Amino acid sequence: MLRTTTCGQLRTEHVGQTATLCGWVDSYRDHSGVLFVDLRDRYGKTQVVFGPESGADVQEVARSLRSEYVISVTGAVAARPMGTSNPKLATGEIELRATRLEVLNKSVTPPFQPGSIDTPNEDLRLKYRYLDLRRPRMQQTLLLRHRMIKAMRDYFDEHDFVEIETPMLGRSTPEGARDYLVPSRVHKGSFYALPQSPQLYKQILMVAGYDRYVQVARCFRDEDLRADRQPEFTQLDLEMTFVEADDVIGIIDGLVARLAKQLLGRDIPTPLPRMTYDEAMERFGHDAPDLRFGMELIDVTDIAREAEFRVWRGAADGGQRVRGINAKGAAANYSRKGIDDLTAWLTQDFGVKGLSWFKVEESGTLASPIAKNFAAPLLAKIAQRLNAEPGDLLLFVADTFPITCKALYALRKRFGEELKLYAPGSMHCSWVVEFPMFAYNEEEKCWAAMHHPFTAPRPQDAPLLASDPAACRAQAYDLVINGLEAGGGTIRIHDQTLQQQVFGLLGIDAEAARERFGFLLDALEFGAPPHGGIALGLDRWVMLFDGLDNIRDCIAFPKTQKATDLMTSAPGAVEAKQLRELGIKIDSPAK
RNA sequence: GGGGACGUAGCUCAAUUGGUUAGAGUACCGGACUGUCGAUCCGGUGGUUGCGGGUUCGAGUCCCGUCGUCCUCGCCA
């Protein structure tokens, strides 16, 4: 070992000992007669002192040290002189009085300093990721990530889960997200697909009798990125045999409580609350509601039917909905212009035709350009329904149910942030259950699976498959943390006949089903047990547990929004020879 | 594919309504300093304002295009 101690280790109890530290020069302060160097490694920072007793030679080398030089220092651990301890450092009571100094490696002047307070722009951080990852904040996150994965593995091991790896090179399935494809050299013109999730393999493992499977699984989806979406991400994937939805939910409840306690020192009572999909859409307009604050969606369609206001009345009479939210005390926060901006945003992003609004005046009356279109008793009804108080801002959308959901969900989310309706560190976990089996695809004029085609309907809803697919509910459950889908799973179909019926509804005929999932259908015929599972979005969990607002900060080497890696410049061109071997011709050459 | 924000010194930012030689902090270089810890003090280097066009007497500022980063809609079973 080149060191005896890390930079986060020494305390007053070590005073008098000799220690050798290695690390990066975080900062240096040259006072001529005495020099200070803060030495950093991932364990912390220790102040190293080069005084007269260090010797002229050592002092001279110390004077040449610059940011990010890698050095090894030996010296005596000493208590700092009275009044010079630094409470900001864990090692702030002591310092290392250097007697030996070796520069292990120099550094060119870094484009930004890992020890600096301000964070550089993200493109720079990504290009020099090795410098960015030296920042204590990043190290904290990656260490939390490690501890989380470790705790998860321990937890599942205690519950008899077996970790089994599944292939990265699989076959493409047209359902779901766009696949990342890998060309086959041996079979020219054929492609592997990187897994979107190990879904089919884990089901096969249940058929194979492994009873409880878990995997930290890398998954790939070639879709456009978001703050909480990367093309390459990690799932904590699991599957269980002889279980019902409650069993899977119960296991995850236990995991959530364990991790919150172990990683955050926080008590989360279980069982976690549950809400049906229908209730979530009605009360919050979304299947992953942020329950850290209220501001629920309120329906006023019945009131709209009596209104003079044509926009409302027309919508209500036409079978659409009029719903709104009460932004408590926000009337003063949003000027006429501010509300116009909200309207423009909702029009652009969600296709609403307009935004109706009222400000509640001191007298309790509703003020708005559209107020004249409402008889006084109706205004009173609206005020009462929304629990309006002076200073409140009431906003309404009159449109189809899906559009009112999207627009009001977005408004509610935005108000939650802008009006600071929840404490910064707060965390709320819950389940949304009883998802519909199918969503009708208007463009393709066909049913699509809400989760995936292997999801089992609730037993009591199985007859609806034939009569009313829209009403058929799945044995599906999503874990929601702070308004983010943190995981989702289902009980699977283990019966061949039922599976065929669902394929039929999805427009997958027998031949196509055999072509794509023949191996699974075969497996279902060989004594497939009832089974179900869930996949947790591990990157998102880290993000939520660490109070971050984007997934890139939870991943050591993430991609940009255009799915490139600024450090390695991936993706890049390949040699013509490589393409020839694969039998691939490029249509439009890369720039 | 659509909408939006941003791009100025190595870095973080400023620059009035289009108007003189584009500034500050920090980093970097040199000097001073024996207890600092975001050290301090003195001096200095550092700029094709992302790139390309255009409008104008004059463009960091306005317009068009393009590249990059981010946010977002579509998309993400």
pLDDT at A479: 98
Task: Point out the nucleotide closest to A562 (alpha carbon to C1′).
Answer: B69
Same domain as A152, residue A174: yes
Distance, CA of A348 to CA of A352 (rounded, Å): 8
Question: Do β-strands A191-193 and A181-183 pair in parallel, antiparallel, or remain unpaired?
Answer: antiparallel
Task: Point out the nucleotide closest to A83 (alpha carbon to C1′).
Answer: B35
Mean pLDDT for the stretch of residues A53-58: 94
Contact A223, A141 (CB under 8 A): no
Contact A352, A346 (CB under 8 A): yes
Q: Which of A146-150, A226-230, A364-368, A446-450 has the lowest mean pLDDT?
A: A446-450
Same domain as A352, residue A479: no
Mean pLDDT for the stretch of residues A262-287: 97
pLDDT at A42: 96
Domain hosting A68: range is 12-105
Per the document, the length of chain A is 591
- Does A234 reside within a domain? yes
* Residues forming a β-bridge with A395: A325, A357
Mean pLDDT for the stretch of residues A118-127: 93
Closest residue to B10 (CA, C1′): A111
End-to-end CA distance of chain A: 49
Task: Point out the nucleotide closest to A25 (alpha carbon to C1′).
Answer: B37
CA of residue A133 to C1' of nucleotide B15, angstroms: 34
Same domain as A260, residue A341: no
pLDDT at A588: 64
Distance, CA of A412 to CA of A419 (rounded, Å): 10
Mean pLDDT for the stretch of residues A454-475: 94
Percent of chain A with pLDDT over 90: 90
Task: Point out the nucleotide closest to A225 (alpha carbon to C1′).
Answer: B76
Domain harbouring A413, CATH code? 3.30.1360.30
Closest residue to B31 (CA, C1′): A32
Same domain as A416, residue A340: yes
pLDDT digits (tens, 9 = 90+) for A189-204: 999 999 999 999 999 9
List all residues 6 or more positions away from A465 whose beta carbon is below 8 Å from its beta carbon.
Answer: A437, A457, A472, A501, A502, A505
CA of residue A78 to C1' of nucleotide B64, angstroms: 67
Same domain as A94, residue A151: no
CA of residue A110 to C1' of nucleotide B7, angstroms: 21
- Does A262 reside within a domain? yes
Mean pLDDT for the stretch of residues A168-183: 91
**Mean pLDDT estimate for chain A:** 95
Q: How confident is the model at residue A445 (pLDDT cuts 50, 70, 90)?
A: confident
On strand B, nucleotides with any atom < 7 Å from a protein CB are 1-3, 10-13, 26-29, 32-40, 68-77
Domain tally, chain A: 3
- Does A564 reside within a domain? no
CA of residue A36 to C1' of nucleotide B35, angstroms: 9
CA of residue A102 to C1' of nucleotide B43, angstroms: 32
Give the pTM: 0.95
CA of residue A120 to C1' of nucleotide B14, angstroms: 17
Domain harbouring A82, CATH code? 2.40.50.140
Mean pLDDT for the stretch of residues A238-254: 98
* Count of beta carbons in the 10 Å neighbourhood of residue A343: 19
pLDDT digits (tens, 9 = 90+) for A342-399: 998 999 899 999 999 999 999 999 999 999 999 999 999 999 999 999 999 999 999 9
Same domain as A369, residue A491: no
Whether A509 shows a pLDDT value over 90: the answer reads no
Same domain as A526, residue A476: yes
pLDDT at A186: 97
Distance, CA of A86 to CA of A91 (rounded, Å): 8
pLDDT at A116: 87
pLDDT digits (tens, 9 = 90+) for A466-490: 999 999 999 999 999 999 999 999 9
**Token pair in block for residue A571:** 């993706």
Distance, CA of A44 to CA of A574 (rounded, Å): 42
Whether A590 shows a pLDDT value over 50: the answer reads no
Domain harbouring A197, CATH code? 3.30.930.10
- Does A335 reside within a domain? yes
Same domain as A263, residue A148: yes
Contact A392, A295 (CB under 8 A): no
Same domain as A409, residue A297: yes
Q: How confident is the model at residue A562 (pLDDT cuts 50, 70, 90)?
A: very high
CA of residue A539 to C1' of nucleotide B69, angstroms: 21
- Does A569 reside within a domain? no
CA of residue A83 to C1' of nucleotide B14, angstroms: 39
pLDDT digits (tens, 9 = 90+) for A137-166: 999 999 999 999 999 999 999 999 999 999
- Does A285 reside within a domain? no
Whether A589 shows a pLDDT value over 70: the answer reads no
* Count of beta carbons in the 10 Å neighbourhood of residue A547: 13
CA of residue A572 to C1' of nucleotide B60, angstroms: 34
More confident residue, A54 or A446: A54
Same domain as A440, residue A536: yes
Whether A176 shows a pLDDT value over 90: the answer reads no
List all residues 6 or more positions away from A348 whose beta carbon is below 8 Å from its beta carbon.
Answer: none
Same domain as A258, residue A152: yes
Task: Point out the nucleotide closest to A221 (alpha carbon to C1′).
Answer: B76
Same domain as A306, residue A253: no
| 3-class SS letters over A110-177 | CCCCCCCCCCCCHHHHHHCHHHHCCCHHHHHHHHHHHHHHHHHHHHHHHCCCEECCCCCCECCCCCCC
- Does A317 reside within a domain? yes
Mean pLDDT for the stretch of residues A268-279: 97
Asked if the peptide bond before residue A273 counts as cis, ω within 30 degrees of 0, the response is no
Mean pLDDT for the stretch of residues A404-415: 96
**Token pair in block for residue A134:** 């030296």
Mean pLDDT for the stretch of residues A568-591: 85
Mean pLDDT for the stretch of residues A99-124: 93
pLDDT at A180: 96
- Does A52 reside within a domain? yes
Task: Point out the nucleotide closest to A222 (alpha carbon to C1′).
Answer: B76
ipTM: 0.94
Task: Point out the nucleotide closest to A26 (alpha carbon to C1′).
Answer: B37
